[in-house]
Amino acid sequence: MSGAILLMVLGLLMLLSFLVVVFLKNLTQDIKVHAQLLGNADLKHYAYNGLNVVWAGLEEILEIHGDLYGPLQGWNKVISTSKIEIPEGIQLKVRIEDESGKIPLNNPDKRLLLNLFNLFGDYLDSQALTQSYLQWLRRRPTEVTLVENRTLPKAASQNENATDNKTVTDNKNESENPQGNKSPGVFLPTCLNSYQQLAEMESFQKRFFSKGNFCDDTLKRLRECTTLLGSLPVNINTAPKDVWICLGKIFSIDLEQVENFMGKPEQSQGRGKYYRSIAEINKRGHGNLKLGQHTSENKKDNTLHDVAEKFMGVSARILKVEVEVLRADVNYTLTAIFKVNKALMREKESKQQVKSLTNKKEESYSKSEPVQNRGVLSLELVTLQEGKWES
């Protein structure tokens, strides 16, 4: 009897011990999940604060210098020079990348594409890649549905003049095809939304996805010198070396003098410089660029050919800002896309004294000054998302 009671007691103790272990395990997991959720909310708060500081700092630089030329203006120092309080144990990292300093793939220029793809093969390879890519853009249209245009009721149309009636008729004719059927939509060329889409083309599949994954070295190099967000011209102050090589094949540029002037190896020490105008390249003897509009022999062709301003610029237009907050093994990332806008201001009316030719008392009148193109640059937030920008 005593042995049976002892075994029963030991069994109950083992059962209680097992239940206590399971309870403590579940409690520990709940505590970790709760702490992580609170931690993410806390990190999210610091990430948004950091983004606001970067936004304000860039706009201050924009106001002082009149433009955003390059990181040497202090882009990456806006956090360190601000008075934002970061608690101990929390790291705040900011990465600012100028997307307008890269070759745009969604607004391509054929000559620039040829030189770009020539970096990854010979001339025949670049021809094949360029032709394949341009055909892919034309072959995959996007349908944009039209809003149906309707004519005005008879009672209302009688009150309108002939011009309004003609406009309505023209709109109706534009929305219908010659057979009398309504057009399903307008087909516009697609754009490249992700680099992964390049794998749909056989020539790109062999060249940039040879390892069968998205981390191919050649694809990584292509992503570093191209963008899916920007458009021409390219900001030469933030352009990578591969972009300069492509531009150097179109224009007469001394790449060695350009690299020495911009001080790429020494930019971390603040010794580098940046161009404030395209003409400065010629003035410093770093190249012989053709500036100003070029008139084509064919009057119907108004395109610019060898004009540097078509391909090259000196200011940033699209910035990608990535703010990352870390604490131990928990991190939170916030990505924002900013666009530099130029707004026009109108001069206020000014009152001037007019001398009378008669004996009447001189009177003042309001004279409206002509509109002057006084540009005020501002930084507009275009896209904001949690996590890193995947393309």
265-297 pLDDT tens trace: 544 455 678 999 999 999 999 999 988 854 444
Q: Hunting for tokens 């004996």 — which residue is that? A: 359
**C-alpha–C-alpha distance, residues 209 and 219, integer Å:** 7
Low pLDDT (below 70) residues in the chain: 30-39, 140-190, 211-215, 264-271, 293-306, 343-375
* Other CB atoms within 10 A of residue 330 CB: 13
User: What is the model's pLDDT at position 142?
Assistant: 52
Question: How far, in Å, are 66, 344, 350, 374 from residue 371 at the CA level?
Answer: 20, 9, 13, 9
**What is the radius of gyration, based on Cα positions, of the chain?**
32
Rounded distance between C-alpha atoms, residue 309 and residue 293, angstroms:
9
- The pLDDT value given to residue 145: 47
- Note the pLDDT of residue 265: 53
- What pLDDT does 138 receive? 82
What separation in angstroms does the CA of 86 have from each of 45, 90, 347?
Answer: 11, 7, 44
Contact between 323 and 82 (Cβ < 8 Å): no
Give the model confidence (pLDDT) of 102-140 as tens digits: 999 998 889 999 999 999 988 899 999 999 999 888 875
- Interatomic CA distance for residues 195 and 216, integer angstroms: 12
Which residues have a Cβ under 8 Å from the Cβ of 364 and sit 6 or more positions away? 351, 352, 353, 354
List, as own/partner pairs, every contact residues 195-198 make where C-beta atoms lie below 8 angstroms and the sequence separation is at least 24, other chains included. 195/219, 195/222, 195/223, 195/228, 195/391, 198/133
Cβ contact 83:70 at 8 Å: no
- Residue 189 has a pLDDT of 53
pLDDT at 301: 43
pLDDT at 25: 82
- If we measure between CA atoms, which residue out of 309, 238, 235 comes closest to residue 272? 238
The SS3 of residue 356 is: coil
Q: What is the pTM of this model?
A: 0.69
Give dist(CA 51, CA 334) in Å, integer.
8
* pLDDT for 343: 63
